[in-house]
Structure 1
Amino acid sequence: MNNMVALVKNECLKMIKKKRFYVILLILLALIPMFTYAQMRVSQNTQKQFGTQDWRAVQRQQIIDWQKTLSSPRTPEEWKLQLRARTQIANYYLEKNVDPSSPNAVTFTREFVKNAVGLFIPLIIMVISADIVSSEHSTGTIKLLLTRPIRRWKILMSKLITLVLFTSLTILSTGVLCYLVSGIVFGFGGWDLPVFVGITANGSDVDFSHVRAVGQWLFIIMEFGLVWFSALVVALMSLMLSVLVRSTAAGMGIMLAVLISGTILSNMVSSWETAKYLFMVNLDLTRYLTGANPPIKGMDLSFSLSVLALWAIASLIVSFTVFTRKDIFN
């Protein structure tokens, strides 16, 4: 136990000395104010366009615009399915007199994380995790590390624990910075606003039979739990690549290509059913909370969680098997 604690402390120090976590914080501090300003400008332009601050009038006009798009023969059928579902959900919020996008720090944080979980958050997780093993090869410290009287699986376990800690810290930092920065502009309220969960969309059909309203504070906890799980799967995949590929640049390049291709596939694979078993197509777990259509018909939250869990377990098995048996010294 003492050996493991010492190993984890050592790995944490290595992670801090790389300064990549600080770089991620700087990226967040640069991007979040930009998105906050953009959101503020959108709100101002919307108010100017409709001449009112009443969210109901804006929502009704949005529904009218969607209906016009639906009536256009140029609109692809796949988009029509999504627009019909969004129209039904928007009408539901109108009937319940709940503003789904009330301007406040909590809503901004919720929306930012929802839009970032598909690509941005996986990319920043990849930055801190892709070289956790491969960097030991490039610096030559792997041989020194393995000459110590410590079993290999313990060394990799310490790296895994460190990775989980920094993944969690990254997600937490994203949420805190979003809330603090956007709160300066939109105010720090919004914790008790209701959000409807349990909406199920399947093509253009939306099921409201299991809908219930929860406070936005609870919704944030649910959302960040799902985002953390997705980020952890990306971290474990990056760990596996770091074990398999000695070159940090090659490992990061492979992971980058996989994540970007996943974003493209999520928008194009509606007719490719077997693509639903790819981990990158399942990363956006938050879509299931608010009733957004899944990338492929038949997918739901339990399915995506199961697929991601299987990929995570497989990554761990490959990582520990290869690391404990690989000939490091040649």
Structure 2
Amino acid sequence: MGQSMLRLVQNETIKLLRRRRFLVVVLILAILIPIFTYAQYHSVVTTQERMGTTDWRPMLTQQIVDMQNRLASSRLPDEWRDLLKVRIQQQQYYLDHDINPMAPGGPTFARGFMDQAITMFLPMIIVVLAVDIVSSEFSEGTVKLLLTRPVRRWKILTSKYLTLLLFTSLTVITTLAMAYLISGVVFGYSGWTLPILTGFQIVGSELDTSGVFMLPQWQFLLMQYGLGWFVCVVVGTITFMVSVLVRSAAAGMGIMMAALISGMILTQMASSWEASKYLFNVNLELTDYLNGTLPPIAGMTLPFSLAVLSIWAIASLVVAYTVFIRRDVTA
């Protein structure tokens, strides 16, 4: 059984590589990461020129002052006001403890990149990988040949899912490696042992620092990219289900893009619809819990979001296997 499954996974890997999906993913990363690196570098240089110093303390102080000025606006929505209050307290904590939260370096860029990419960029890349992993068998007319082989259908679908997990893991590892290597050309490759604070808790709209502890940046990156991997697996699993249900890759792509984009919109508006916290696309920003950022809906926690995403993934697998095993391929 083990050898037959291994052969099936090898066969699915060859199919995926032949369709050059993973190559497309690598090219997207190779094009966009340098752009993001330049944007980050330009932002740092502009801030330093405006402040007239390279010392991070005055710059962080100015950020705090700017956010306090924004709080003075009477037109600021309550959810943004709470977010700014927490952010000010957090930045002040870093300043009081003489820790630069954004010290230059490849590891720091990789950390910031994951914070920004976990909600939309990485899930979209995983959708590109997964959207036609099953539906392509219908569009290419190979599904009858595939399902008439003397192999149980659940084994065929499992081999496809294992292949998806393999390439999802490779995508996350490649993202970390390329973010570090490319940004390091500009920012340098040091910073793995930079102290990072985590353990911030949100109580109401206030930041609780009683449980804050310090980690070297490499450990924080492992935690952060581990959460990023989990998000990618969940999005990949839901896309996997869509690929089983929809026979057109274009339709599957449209469904998943709509889901991810609506998730970004709901994250901004979620406070007015509390039930949205049970949607998978509102729970993708897992790294925010490490950073102590205010969640979209009060009361949301890391265990809650992990549980919601796990339920969505398990339900998607149940639907995918049920439909695939019972499907009439002559239809």
What TM-score results when the alignment is normalised by the length of structure 1?
A: 0.99
Equivalent residue, structure 2, for 1:172? 173
1:267 aligns with 2:268: yes
* Aligned residues of 1:202 and 1:293 also touching (Cα < 8 A): no
How far did 1:307 drift? Answer: 0.2
Any idea what the Cα deviations from partners look like across 1:248-267, whole Å, max 9, x if unmatched?
11111111100110011111
How far did 1:101 drift? Answer: 0.6
How far did 1:204 drift? Answer: 2.6
- Counterpart of 2:251, as a letter, is A
For structure 2, the 5+ residue unaligned runs are none
Equivalent residue, structure 2, for 1:297? 298
- Counterpart of 1:245, as a letter, is V
How far did 1:71 drift? Answer: 1.0
Equivalent residue, structure 2, for 1:284? 285
1:328 aligns with 2:325: no
Taking the aligned partners of 2:257 and 2:73, their CA distance within structure 1 comes to 37
Equivalent residue, structure 1, for 2:106? 105
For structure 1, the 5+ residue unaligned runs are none
1:244 aligns with 2:251: no
Q: SS of 2:227's equivalent? A: helix
Identity fraction in percent: 54
How far did 1:201 drift? Answer: 2.1
How far did 1:30 drift? Answer: 0.6
How far did 1:74 drift? Answer: 2.1
How far did 1:203 drift? Answer: 4.5
Equivalent residue, structure 2, for 1:19? 20
Taking the aligned partners of 1:231 and 1:72, their CA distance within structure 2 comes to 38
How far did 1:127 drift? Answer: 0.3
1:220 aligns with 2:249: no
Q: SS of 1:327's equivalent? A: coil
Any idea what the Cα deviations from partners look like across 1:252-283, whole Å, max 9, x if unmatched?
11111001100111111112110000000001
Taking the aligned partners of 2:44 and 2:67, their CA distance within structure 1 comes to 19
Equivalent residue, structure 1, for 2:158? 157
Equivalent residue, structure 1, for 2:122? 121
Any idea what the Cα deviations from partners look like across 1:147-172, whole Å, max 9, x if unmatched?
11000000000000000000000111
Q: SS of 2:270's equivalent? A: coil
Taking the aligned partners of 1:160 and 1:294, their CA distance within structure 2 comes to 31
Taking the aligned partners of 2:73 and 2:284, their CA distance within structure 1 comes to 32
Taking the aligned partners of 1:63 and 1:284, their CA distance within structure 2 comes to 24
Taking the aligned partners of 1:172 and 1:87, their CA distance within structure 2 comes to 33
Taking the aligned partners of 2:287 and 2:181, their CA distance within structure 1 comes to 22
How many residue pairs were aligned?
Answer: 330
